[in-house]
Amino acid sequence: MGVLKRYGEYLPVTKKTPAVNLEEGSTPLVLLDRIGSSLGIELWGKLEGCNPTGSFKDRGMVLAVAKAMEDGASAFVCASTGNTSASAAAYAAHVGAPCYVLLPSGKVAMGKLAQALIYGARVIAVDGNFDRTLEMAREASAKCGFAIVNSVNPYRLISQRTGAWEICESLGDAPDLHAIPVGNAGNISAYWAGYKEFRERGRSKKLPRMMGFQAEGAAPLVTGMACPVPETVATAIRIGNPVSAHLAREAVRESGGEFNSVTDAEILEAQKILAARGGIFAEPASCAPLAGLIKLKKSGLLPEGSRVVMVLTGNGLKDPDTALSQVEKPVAIGGTIEDLMEALRQ
Ligand code: AN7
């Protein structure tokens, strides 16, 4: 069941809203007990990479596209570090509208680029970082009348709250800590709004502490200053001036949480741990929370025994290049059984 159907009563869906549906949402929440026990916590991973385009963006995109169609939109535009463009392109294709996507040239993972292109979007590679492409997309939206489906579109964050509701329904309540990567800062804000709303409706009792993790080279919410030249291996969160910074700061302050940063090396190490000890392949940005939890554990700041949910925002298959650069090559052998026996002995 897609999110408009599953949570229609909590979303601004009317009789006139087209029932757009790629069966997004309802993603698995997986107990990662081997990793959790080494950190002294009960650790859960929300597998947002299981969404139809392989990232959490589909939760918000479905409502943004449905409402734009309801309002008579004829084309879509977005700027993206990759996942938003894949999602926008897919939903635009599904409803039969053109989609223009602006990407920072050379800084988008291969799988995401392939997605936007195969879904039939018009892909434009801009000589500039994400923050600049977003400014340009907003201007194009105003000039050409395209519906903008970045998180400046309020329906995106409204519908991304569904992730928090699913977690509360799966666990019976909110967790103690909610760990999440932060780029443009929309998702952390949406989750916080979702947790609060579910509690107000009497559907949950607790509120989690919101722990937002950024890459050290693109950590404006940690340093308190916009970062003019963001740089990180986690290209999804290579963002220097987050649009929803004010909402994210509020979420962290109200919940008693924190922002923290992790290095690229810590992110890549966490990616390997998640895969090799959890059986889950998530893209680098999605591994920032695990890197952050490991960092907190090392400094004695991770509360023992707490229930922690981390949002694994995107599928690892989107960025195979980065993963391959971190592992050994396959063992190459000839075609005899002796060759195989020799290889198995090593
Ligand atoms: C895998 O696609 O900004 O803090 O243009 O793809 O809500 O921005 C992606 C962001 C985390 C950060 N994990 O979420 C885009 C884009 C993954 C992401 C984030 C992104 P926000």
Q: How far apart are CA 192 and CA 252, in angstroms?
A: 9
Across 308-319, average pLDDT: 98
CA of 300 to the centre of ligand 1 (A): 29
**In terms of Cα–Cα distance, which of 149, 143, 140 is closest to 116?**
149
The answer to whether 129 and 108 have CB atoms below 8 angstroms apart is: no
Which residues have CB under 6 Å of ligand 1? 55, 80-84, 181-187, 236-237, 283, 285-286, 313-314
Compute the distance from residue 342 Cα to the ligand 1 centre, in Å. 45
Could you tell me the two tokens for 333?
């052998």
Question: What are the structure tokens assigned to 173, written together?
Answer: 């309540």
Q: Whose CA is nearest to atom 13 of ligand 1?
A: 313
- The predicted-structure confidence for 240-297, as pLDDT tens digits, reads as follows 999 999 999 999 999 999 999 999 999 999 999 999 999 999 999 999 999 999 999 9
Q: Are 62 and 4 in contact (CB under 8 A)?
A: yes
pLDDT of residue 130: 96
Question: Cα angle vertex 78, ends 288, 285, to 5°?
Answer: 10
Q: Are strands 42-47 and 307-312 parallel, antiparallel or unpaired?
A: parallel
Query: What span, in angstroms and rounded, lies between the C-alpha atoms of 258 and 270?
Result: 20
pLDDT at 333 over 90: yes
Residues 6+ apart with CB under 8 A from 344: none
Atom 8 (ligand 1) nearest CA: 184
What does the pLDDT read at residue 196? 98
- Tell me phi and psi for residue 46, to 5 degrees: -95, 115
What's the rounded mean pLDDT across residues 286-313? 98
Task: Give yes or no for residue 218 having a pLDDT over 90.
Answer: yes
Structure tokens at 84: 């938003």
Q: Give the N- to C-terminal CA distance of the chain in Å, as an integer.
A: 48
Contacts of 252 (CB under 8 A, 6+ apart): 188, 210, 212, 258, 259
